[in-house]
Amino acid sequence: MTTKKTSQSEQETQEVAQKIKRILTNNPDKNVIALTGNLGAGKTKLTQFLAKEFNILKNIVSPTFLIMRKYELPHNKLNYFYHVDAYRLKNEKGLEKIGIKKIINNKKNIVIVEWADKVEKIIPDNALWIDLQHGKNKKERIINIKNE
């Protein structure tokens, strides 16, 4: 199933983040969000809104040069929120070296992967794929959510 949402504002993108959190909360074995889209389409912004939905108060910045950042989740049911940026990777081997399979397999972790199409082989079949594209104007974003 695919849902298409057009966002005209940060408030509407926050509402998409709320929907994504509900999907993850209602599907305990779904813990990976695979983000795709053009440069500047809003992958990091959506990740920031998701972090906010999970009550992470720290400033979320893209881990482009670090590849991955880890944030503790203030929930009893969940452990960590991992933010992965695969932009600089050629394939999934760089993530395998830092233990991504173990991280993904732990269903108490939420894992967000930007540029997931570059590391598609490590993304589980049940991942929530979200494609973000620029819209007709500067603020508009087209958000397609697959595998709800």
Return the sign of the alpha-carbon dihedral for residues 124, 125, 126, 131: positive
Nearby residues of 79 by Cβ (< 8 Å), 6 or more positions away: 72, 73, 106, 108, 109
Q: Give the pLDDT confidence of 41-55 residue by residue, as tens digits.
A: 999 999 999 999 999
Q: Give me the domains of the chain, ranges plus CATH numbers.
A: 2-142 (3.40.50.300)
pLDDT band at residue 66, thresholds of 50, 70 and 90?
A: confident
Residue 75 has pLDDT above 80, yes or no: no
Residue 123 has pLDDT above 90, yes or no: yes
Residue 76 has pLDDT above 80, yes or no: no
Listed residue (111, 130, 133, 132) closest to 122, CA to CA: 111
pTM over 0.75, yes/no: yes
Give the whole-angstrom CA distance, residue 104 versus residue 12.
28
Mean pLDDT over 25-49 rounds to 94
Q: Give the pLDDT confidence of 96-105 residue by residue, as tens digits.
A: 889 999 999 9
pLDDT band at residue 90, thresholds of 50, 70 and 90?
A: confident
3-state secondary structure of 40: coil
- Tell me the percentage of the chain whose pLDDT exceeds 70: 99
Q: Crossing angle of helices 43-53/10-26, nearest 10°?
A: 60
| Paired strand residues for 37 | 132
Q: Compute the half-sphere exposure of residue 113: CA atoms within 13 Å on the CB side of its CA.
A: 29
